[in-house]
Amino acid sequence: MSKITLKVNGGTHTLDIDPSTPLLYILRNDLGLQGPRFGCGLGQCGACTVLINGVATRSCITATSAVKSEVTTLEGLAKNGVLHPLQQAWIDEQVPQCGFCQNGQIMTAKALLDKTPNPTDAQIREGMARTLCRCMTYYRIQAAIRRAANVKAGVKAANGPAMVTEVVA
Amino acid sequence: MTTFTNIPKQIEEELSRRNFLRSAGMLVVSLSPLVTLPQTASAQTPAASPRAAGPYPDPNYKQLDSWIVIHDDNTATFYVGKTDCGQGTGTSFRQMMSDELDIAYNKTSLIMGSTDVTVDQGGSGGSDAIQTDGWPMRRVAAEARRVLLELASQRLGTPVDQLAVSDAVITVKADPSKKVTYGELVGGKRFNVALTGNNVDATTGVAKVKTVQELKFVGQSLPRYDIPPKVDGSLKWAVDVKASGMVHARNVKPPVAGAKLISIDESSVRGLPAFVKVVSKGNYVAVVCEREEQAINASRQLKVNWEKPATAPFPASEDLFKYMRSAKPTSVGRPVEVGNADAALAGAAKVIEAEYDVPFQGHTAISPAHAMADPSNGQMTIYSNDMKSYGMRNGVAQFLGIPREQVRVVWMEGPQGYGRTAADDAGFEAAFLAKELGRPVRVQWMRQEETAWDTKGPAFTFKMRGGLDAQGNLVAYDYDSQACDYNHVGYNEADTVLIAQLMGIRKATPNAGGGDRPSDMYAIPNRRMATQVVSLPLIWETPLRTGNLRDPNGPQVTFAAESFIDELAAAAKADPVEFRLRLLNASTADDAQFKRARSIACVKAAAAAYGWDTRPSPKPVGSGNILTGRGIAYSFRSQTVVAEIAEVEVNRKTGHVWVKRLVCAHDCGLVINPQSLRGTVECGMLHSVSRTLHEEVTFDTEKVTSTDWTSHPTLTHMDAPAKIDVVLVNGDPNPNRPDLPHYGAGETTCKPTLAAIANAIYDATGVRLRRVPFRDARVLAALKAAGV
């Protein structure tokens, strides 16, 4: 056990913990930040993703002692009660099914858009490729990322993802 | 109240409701900083809270108060015995009930699935939420409206027929200044109105439900209320529940199927920090520690001596289909027969035969199984995402040997269930450990454990024969299927849930498992459909235990059935859409014309939305590296019909298949929430795209070898189609019928996707793939073998 100081979502926390503990368990069980979630513990699915110094990082395989910069979790994205454009786009596109993986989807998309504000479809696919969704909401996630990128760029919001035709016969 | 009901509001309402319903003393809720208050209860204050104290009698479905509470502020809370697997059914329930009650949608909220406060509607399953359970919800809401009108009539001294009601305000038609709100009439009080019905599905008052034309919220794409808290991180899930004194447990599974525990060396973990206990019974082993990461470490370090079984529990996955074809069936279904298939085959101008194989496929939910059980106050509360929470309550009570009134299951959101949580191992394990330790215990499975040991959709083999006459008409059809499904686990059964099996408990008669047949409406004069179930050598304590996986058998069966129809169309040199329409339009004396008409409407709608070019498959193979093609398949599930078209790109150099476009024409009758339905349809299709291209449970002769996201690949963002078109065909032939019913939509779209993709690949390449998944190597080998 040793004392570790963590900066998370603008706050500073000093904890007496085993420094090798993966960050995920500290966030969830000690700091009550449960946006990041356990999906695999192997760094394969992305459900545990947080931003560390702006980089999408898998907290399930990141030792807490290795965290040297401020951590941002899903709970830290909204500013002054206003949702981040990505979160708003997720609502506008009605992205989630169960929603369990969406923390990782949103946080990974945040890192993607911060680096590449106007990604091509191929860049979105590649940037998100390792973040898994077992409800298969990929199509709507990609539409939401395009919408958020357009909103940030001041482009009028795109239409919904699907060219939906309602035939009421 | 806002449109989006969040969980804290629900807690508040729930607690206030229980307070007045029980007429108990003051309800004290304490929230300590590191304790997360679950959605419906404060387990931390058993002495002060009448709710937590228990016991927990069943809410009476024959009491209106069990379903609807009107608050002083003229809002309403609905209580329904359903859970949501991620399709947003809660929003749809609120739409239906708001309409019948005549209250604005955004003045309502909804509580689902917790066994002590909602009537037992069975949780989720069978895509019946809207189709079946929506009816009692509508009827009880209509009854509440009727009762409120009666009360208003007395209050205002005006006959009911001279009153008008709008948005929870009742006015005198002749003098709108005379009015009274629902809240003023019954806010904070009980209705005390008895309902009737022999079972919960039949629950009704005396009021009639509204006609379709009178419904305002039904049919609107209202945003799902559960989405905002899911994207801002505020929702508390079953994985998030904590309680004072809670400890963490991890299981230690046998390293090979059927292994027997010989001994445990507890000294291997006793010195670890915050170690609490090793608990074992039979072959069930768990390690308990104060902290989560400590439990994980301890479970990895615990030394356990296992004895391997004397004989192999199952063949290796590459030998599975050969094994299944030579296995003696454990049961043979009575064939469904029309005409004489054998005689017609003997007389056919052309006979086509084909065999298809679908391997075991797992749930592999994004989160492994989890639950928290709290034994406080001599009761047992389980916080769980179990889709069948009521069944878990009964199963746990039986498993622990305690009265069911002492058990409650608090349902909370979790990863997609689709059947996995209908046999919810973690809830039973948490309850067992909590009883053993006398402390709240949180159980979470690890990834490899979940992927290896979750329940599996049964593997199938199929043998099909079809006969065409000289004009290319299908005159004979013979379907023979084998499902590897013996000892299929039941819903939260105390004698088939995995912890029970590992403890040596055996159900006296193993579940027989089920075969299944195609669900198309083709009129074929001579048809036989036969089913068999076969068994693996090991049926207990095996990671290859079968359970329901989203439309349990439909994707497998429809893969074979609709691939084969395409093979027959190709043999007849007919366009795949035209061939199907010809079969749907053929004359027959059966009574399925209603379903047939809706089938035709869907097939035509899908073809029109896609822009289908009429021609036989395959098309001439192109010259470039990327070959494109399109395929169609269609299916029924219960009363819901879908036709799907897949457009694919096949890379002839790598064998990679990209499903570039999907079209679905979907008819589930009256649509409650079109946007929500579209999401369900899209994701249902993509779930099956994943099953078509990626998913297979692999195993050697002693254990499952597909255990994580590398060895068990899934669909990723790279696979997402460029375009998905969903056509909602509300295809009742008479849409103005006042009783146009609402059918189910959770699973039907999963069924035809596999065949639509196989048929598209055939169209593009001329190569017929008869074994899923279509991973790159398998496709490439097939292309090479065919010289493509």
Q: Which residues does chain A have within 8 Å of residue B296's beta carbon, measured at their own beta carbons?
A: 41
Q: What is the pLDDT of residue B594?
A: 85
Counted across chains A and B, CB pairs separated by less than 8 A come out at 210
B228 CB neighbours in chain A (<8 A) are 91
How buried is B326 (Cβ within 10 angstroms: 0-12 exposed, 13-18 middle, 19+ buried)?
exposed
| pLDDT given for residue B30 in this prediction | 29
Q: What average pLDDT is seen over chain B?
A: 92
Position A89 in a domain? yes
Residues of A in contact with B35 (CB under 8 A): none
Selected residue of A60, A137, A139 to mutate for chain B interface (largest B Cβ count, 10 A): A139
Q: To which H or E segment does residue B633 belong? A: strand B626-637
Beta strands B336-338 and B527-534 are antiparallel
Determine, yes or no, domain membership for A15.
yes
- Cβ separation of A98 and B721 shorter than 8 Å? no
Hey, are the CB atoms on B724 and A90 less than 8 Å from each other?
no
CB contact under 8 A, A45 and B366: yes
Which of the four pLDDT bands, split at 50, 70 and 90, describes residue B502?
very high
Measured between CA atoms, how close is B609 to chain A, in angstroms?
A: 8
Probe site for chain A from B6, B230, B668 (most A CB atoms < 10 A): B230
- Does a structural domain hold residue A161? no
Same domain, A13 and A63: yes
**Do both A67 and A104 map to the same domain?**
no
Domain CATH for A31: 3.10.20.30
Same domain, A89 and A148: yes
Contact criterion met (CB below 8 Å) for B239 and B435: no
User: Torsions phi, psi of B747, nearest 5?
Assistant: -130, -20
Q: Give which of A59, A73, A98 to mutate to test B binding, by max B Cβ within 10 Å.
A: A98
- Mark which residues 47-66 of A lie under 8 Å from B by CB: 47
For B541-556, the pLDDT digits (tens) are 999 999 999 999 999 9
Q: How far is B231 from chain A (nearest CA, A)?
A: 6
| Chain A residues whose beta carbon lies within 8 Å of the beta carbon of residue B86 | 96-99, 135
Q: Residue B417: closest CA among chain A residues belongs to which residue? A: A98
What is the structure's pLDDT at B213?
87
For residue B486, the model assigns a pLDDT of 98
| In a domain? residue A169 | no
CB-CB under 8 Å, B719 with A38: no
List CB contacts (< 8 A) between A25 and chain B: 291-293
Inspect the interface and report whether the beta carbons of B366 and A100 lie closer than 8 Å: yes
A96 and A62 in a single domain? The answer is no
Confidence of residue B735 (pLDDT cuts 50, 70, 90): low
Chain B CB contacts of A165 under 8 Å are: 609, 725-727
Distance from CA of A19 to the nearest CA of B (A): 12
Contact B724 A139 (CB under 8 A): yes
Contact A87 B232 (CB under 8 A): yes
Q: Strand, coil or helix: what is B51?
A: helix
In a domain, A116, yes or no: yes
Contact assignment for A99 to B230 by CB distance below 8 Å: yes
Average pLDDT, chain A: 92
Q: Which of A39, A94, A138 sits opposite B720 (nearest CB)?
A: A138
Prediction ipTM score? 0.94
- The reply to whether A164 falls in a domain is no
State the Cα torsion B748-B754-B755-B756 to the nearest 10°: 80
From chain B, pick out residues whose CB is under 8 angstroms from the CB of A22.
293
Chain A residues inside the 8 Å CB shell of B88: 97
- Check if A164 contacts B (Cβ < 8 Å): yes
In this structure, the answer to whether residues A6 and A72 fall within a common structural domain is: yes
Q: State the average pLDDT over residues B346-366.
A: 98
Query: Do A100 and B682 make contact, defined as CB atoms within 8 angstroms?
Result: no
B171 has a pLDDT exceeding 70: yes
**Residue of A91, A136, A141 with shortest CB distance to B227:** A91
Query: What DSSP string runs through B118-162?
Result: S-----S-TT-IIIIIHHHHHHHHHHHHHHHHHHHHHHHT--GGG
Residue of chain A with shortest Cα separation from B675: A94
- Please identify, among A76, A110, A133, the residue that sits at the C-terminal boundary of a domain: A76
Tracing tokens 């192999």 back to the chain, one arrives at B312
Q: How many residues does chain B have?
A: 788
Q: Which helix (H) or strand (E) holds B92?
A: helix B89-101
Judge if A96 and A142 occupy the same domain: yes
Residues in chain A with CB shorter than 8 Å from the CB of B603 are none
SS3 per residue for B340-404? CHHHHHHCCCEEEEEEEEECCEECCCCCCCEEEEECHHHCEEEEECCCCHHHHHHHHHHHHCCCH
Distance from CA of A38 to the nearest CA of B (A): 7
Task: Look at residues A123, A112, A138 and name the one whose alpha carbon lies nearest to residue A49.
Answer: A112
What pLDDT is attached to residue B590? 82
Q: Is the pLDDT of residue B769 over 70?
A: yes
Cβ pair B117, B82 in contact under 8 A: no
Q: Residue B422 in contact with residue B411, Cβ under 8 Å? A: no
Interior CA angle at B334 toward B332 and B337, to 5°?
A: 135
Domain at A102, CATH number: 1.10.150.120
> CA-CA distance, B16 to B77, in Å (whole number)?
11
- A99 and A66 fall within a common domain: no
- Indicate whether A101 and A62 sit together in one domain: no
Which of B209, B212, B222, B221 has its CA nearest to residue B101? B209
Test B605 with A132 for CB contact under 8 angstroms: no
Number of folded domains that form chain A? 2
Which of A155-169, B78-92, B410-424 is modeled with the greatest confidence?
A: B78-92
Residue of A49, A167, A168 to mutate for B, most B C-beta atoms under 10 A: A167
In degrees and rounded to multiples of 5, residue B307 shows phi and psi of -110, 125
Contact A37 B239 (CB under 8 A): yes
Examine the domain organization and report whether A128 and A94 are in the same domain.
Answer: yes
Query: Within this chain, do residues A94 and A139 fall inside the same structural domain, yes or no?
Result: yes
Q: Tell me the pLDDT tens digit for each residue of A73-99.
A: 999 999 999 999 999 999 999 999 999
In this structure, are A37 and A61 located in the same domain? Answer: yes
CA nearest B677: which of B231, B224, B229? Answer: B224
Q: What is the pLDDT of residues B558-578, one digit of tens each?
A: 999 999 999 999 999 999 999
Nearest to B87 among A97, A125, A167 (CB): A97
CB contact under 8 A, B717 and A124: yes
How far does B728 lie from chain A, in Å, by closest CA? 5
pLDDT more than 70, % of chain B: 92
pLDDT at B409 over 80: yes
Across the range B336-342, mean pLDDT stands at 97
Write out pLDDT tens, residues B139-148. 999 999 999 9
Which residue is closest to A82 within chain B, CA to CA? B232
Structural domain includes residue A163: no
B739 confidence band (pLDDT: 50, 70, 90): low
Cα distances (Å, whole numbers) of residue B317 to B327, B365, B706, B711, B779: 15, 21, 11, 14, 18
Name the minimum distance, in Å, from the CA of A142 to any CA of chain B: 8
* B278/B412 Cα distance (integer angstroms): 28
Contacts of B367 in chain A (CB under 8 A): 37-39, 47, 100
Which residues in B lie closer than 8 A to residue A138 (C-beta atoms)? 686, 715-717, 719-720
Does the pLDDT value for residue B598 go beyond 70? Answer: yes
Mean pLDDT score, B108-117: 97
Is B231 in contact with A37 (Cβ distance < 8 A)?
no
Q: What is the pLDDT of residue B385?
A: 97
Residues of chain A with pLDDT under 50: 157-169
Query: Which stretch of DSSP H or E encloses residue A92?
Result: helix A85-92
Question: What pLDDT is stored for residue B32 in this prediction?
Answer: 30
pLDDT, residue B1, reads: 28
The pLDDT tens digits for B281-337 are: 999 999 999 999 999 999 999 999 999 999 999 999 999 999 999 999 999 999 999
Residue A72 belongs to domain spanning: 2-76
Last residue of a domain, one of A76, A107, A131: A76
C-beta of residue B762 within 8 angstroms of C-beta of residue B634: no
Give CA–CA dist A86/A117, Å, rounded: 12
- The reply to whether A14 and A61 lie within a common domain is yes
For the cut 80, the answer to whether the pLDDT of residue B37 exceeds it is no
Could you give the domains of chain B? 7-231 (3.30.365.10), 239-310+369-444 (3.30.365.10), 317-363+455-534 (3.30.365.10)
**Residue A44 domain-assigned?**
yes
Nearest to A44 among B33, B230, B709 (CB): B709
Segment (H or E) for B169: strand B169-172
Percent over 70 (pLDDT), chain A = 92
User: A99 vs chain B: nearest CA distance in angstroms?
Assistant: 6
Output the six-digit token pair for B641.
Answer: 């019909």
Tell me: pLDDT of B417 over 50.
yes
- Token duo for residue A59: 């907290």
Task: Say if the Cβ atoms of A41 and B296 lie within 8 Å.
Answer: yes
With a cut of 70, say whether residue B737 has pLDDT above it. no
Closest to B683 (Cβ–Cβ): which among A35, A97, A124? Answer: A97
Q: Which one of A48, A76, A104 terminates a domain?
A: A76
Amino acid at site B593: Q
pLDDT of residue B474: 98
B678 vs A41, A74, A164: nearest CB? A164
Residue from the list A78, A103, A134 with its beta carbon closest to the beta carbon of B364: A134
Residues of A in contact with B555 (CB under 8 A): none
Which position has the higher pLDDT, B741 or B250? B250
**B251 alpha-carbon distance from chain centroid:** 26
The pLDDT assigned to B731 comes to: 57
State the pLDDT confidence band at B588, using cuts at 50, 70 and 90: confident
| H or E segment and range at residue B411 | strand B407-411
Hey, which residues 116-145 in chain A have their CB within 8 Å of chain B? 121, 124-126, 128-142
Q: Is the pLDDT of residue B14 over 70?
A: no
pTM: 0.94
* Residue B242 distance to chain A (closest CA, Å): 9
Cβ-defined contact of B724 to A162 (cutoff 8 Å): yes
